[in-house]
């Protein structure tokens, strides 16, 4: 079987550039460590691409990615300069495409017609929420209907992959609203999703709202619980979540950047641990006393750490509950099994399975 090439972004940042104004939660300069007033020069773009390309292996598929601002809101001459350089690398076969992030209200048919000849392969739209009240309180400057309209336009260009970003825990958000946002996202059928629980970053309006007690971010535990509700419906719909939680860069970790909120360098791992905890609980309910004295549990090796949980909590709880039912547990790791699934067999009984999709 041929292995899929791993994707890698050759990232270039245009922090806040092209944005009509700042959304309450956003400080891209602080996150990326780059000043918003500094425009990328041709030389800097080439240098950065060359340097990052030197670390890309033949086993990886690279896209040159413009992140951190509203690319399609940049002055056209600046967009043309950036895209022209990126296209040279596409034409030389050194990268397979161009990725850019932008706002839903900065997508229109004429914009798509402009982007297409440069070899743009992926567009990421910041939606943040599909609840109009949350969007208004976050000063996004667009509505949920505008997200749907932008998706409709992008979908007229089948060569372009579409990613949607959501930020649970913004002002006015609730778990129910975030779950509804996911339901609406599923109807839009993106190719992938990113989930970034909202953080209080220094220098944002959210910082002021937080300091004046008008906004309380999610705790880490709440953010894990919310994301654990949001991910399974996306899995069931076959929509990959390519990132959960902000990338733990040096800039983000530097003192005084994240002032409050559910930041964790391994946020996705915490969500996986929570979902395995829920799977083990379901499994316990299905294991009844007359099923034989031992239970063989099988997972993919990459899931072992999440299955065991923080400091082994998940697995310890499970094993001690089974001990009370006078059963021994054996853990088997099998790389032929799918990720995020538990299979188990007791005595001569048929193997049973449960996966994150069923949560
Ligand atoms: S969230 Fe997006 S549109 Fe809003 S300020 Fe940040 S980069 Fe600009």
Q: How far is CA 243 from the centre of its chain?
A: 3
Whole-structure pTM value: 0.93
User: Which pLDDT does position 3 carry in this prediction?
Assistant: 61
Strands 258-260 and 294-299, sheet pairing? unpaired
Instruction: Check pLDDT > 60 for residue 1.
Output: no
Set out the domains of the chain in order of their start, with CATH numbers.
6-265 (3.20.20.70), 272-358 (3.40.1260)
**40 and 32 Cβ atoms separated by less than 8 Å:** no
Percent of the chain with pLDDT over 70: 98
Task: Tell the residue number behind the tokens 């994301």, with chain if given.
Answer: 227
Ligand 1 centroid from CA 26, angstroms? 6
Instruction: Check pLDDT > 80 for residue 34.
Output: no
What is the spatial distance between Cα 152 and Cα 149, in angstroms, rounded to a whole number? Answer: 5
User: Which pLDDT does position 248 carry in this prediction?
Assistant: 77
User: Which pLDDT does position 42 carry in this prediction?
Assistant: 96
CA dihedral (282, 288, 292, 295) in degrees, to 10, reads 10
What is the spatial distance between Cα 251 and Cα 249, in angstroms, rounded to a whole number? Answer: 5
Ligand 1 centroid from CA 330, angstroms? 49
pLDDT digits (tens, 9 = 90+) for 37-70: 788 999 999 999 999 999 998 888 999 999 999 9
- CB-defined site of ligand 1, < 6 Å: 16, 19, 22-23, 26, 28, 69-70, 103, 126
What SS3 state is found at 78? helix
Q: What is the mean pLDDT of the segment spanning 336-342?
A: 96
- Highest averaged pLDDT of the listed ranges 135-149, 248-262, 343-357: 135-149
Indicate which residue's Cα is closest to atom 3 of ligand 1. 19
In whole angstroms, how far apart are CA 24 and each of 45, 168, 203, 262, 358? 29, 14, 10, 17, 36
Ligand 1 centroid from CA 320, angstroms? 48
- Specify the ligand 1 atom closest to the Cα of 15: 7
What is the spatial distance between Cα 149 and Cα 143, in angstroms, rounded to a whole number? Answer: 10
Indicate which residue's Cα is closest to atom 6 of ligand 1. 26
Q: How far is CA 287 from the centre of its chain?
A: 34
- Specify the ligand 1 atom closest to the Cα of 19: 8
Indicate which residue's Cα is closest to atom 7 of ligand 1. 69
pLDDT digits (tens, 9 = 90+) for 204-221: 999 999 999 999 999 999
Ligand 1 centroid from CA 22, angstroms? 6
Average pLDDT of the residues of the chain:
93
Instruction: Check pLDDT > 70 for residue 290.
Output: no
């Amino acid at each position: 079987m041929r292995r899929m090439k791993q994707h890698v972004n050759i990232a270039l940042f245009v922090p806040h550039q092209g944005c009509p104004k700042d959304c309450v939660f956003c400080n891209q300069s602080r996150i990326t460590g780059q000043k918003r007033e500094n425009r990328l020069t041709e030389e800097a773009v080439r240098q950065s691409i060359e340097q990052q390309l030197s670390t890309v292996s033949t086993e990886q598929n690279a896209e040159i990615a413009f992140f951190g601002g509203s690319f399609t809101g940049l002055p056209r001459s600046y967009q043309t300069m950036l895209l022209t350089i990126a296209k040279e690398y596409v034409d030389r076969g050194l990268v397979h495409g161009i990725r850019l992030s932008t706002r839903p209200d900065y997508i229109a048919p004429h914009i798509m017609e402009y982007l297409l000849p440069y070899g743009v392969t992926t567009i990421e739209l910041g939606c943040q929420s599909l609840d109009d009240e949350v969007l208004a309180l976050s000063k996004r400057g667009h509505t949920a209907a505008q997200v749907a309209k932008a998706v409709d336009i992008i979908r007229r260009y089948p060569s372009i992959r579409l990613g949607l970003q959501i930020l649970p825990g913004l002002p006015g958000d609730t778990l129910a609203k975030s779950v509804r946002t996911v339901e609406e996202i599923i109807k839009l059928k993106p190719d992938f999703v990113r989930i970034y629980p909202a953080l209080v970053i220094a220098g944002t309006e959210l910082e002021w709202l937080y300091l004046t007690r008008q906004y309380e971010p999610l705790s880490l535990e709440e953010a894990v619980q919310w994301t654990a509700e949001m991910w399974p419906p996306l899995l069931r719909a076959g929509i990959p979540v390519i990132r959960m939680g902000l990338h733990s860069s040096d800039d983000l970790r530097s003192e005084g950047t994240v002032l409050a909120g559910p930041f964790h360098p391994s946020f996705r791992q915490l969500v996986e641990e929570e979902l395995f905890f829920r799977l083990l609980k379901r499994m316990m309910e299905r294991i009844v006393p007359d099923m034989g004295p031992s239970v063989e549990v099988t997972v993919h090796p990459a899931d072992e750490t999440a299955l065991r949980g923080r400091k082994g909590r998940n697995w310890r709880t499970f094993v001690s509950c089974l001990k009370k039912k006078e059963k021994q547990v054996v853990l088997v790791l099998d790389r032929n099994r799918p990720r995020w699934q538990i299979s188990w067999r007791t005595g001569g009984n048929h193997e049973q399975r449960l996966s994150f999709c069923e949560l």
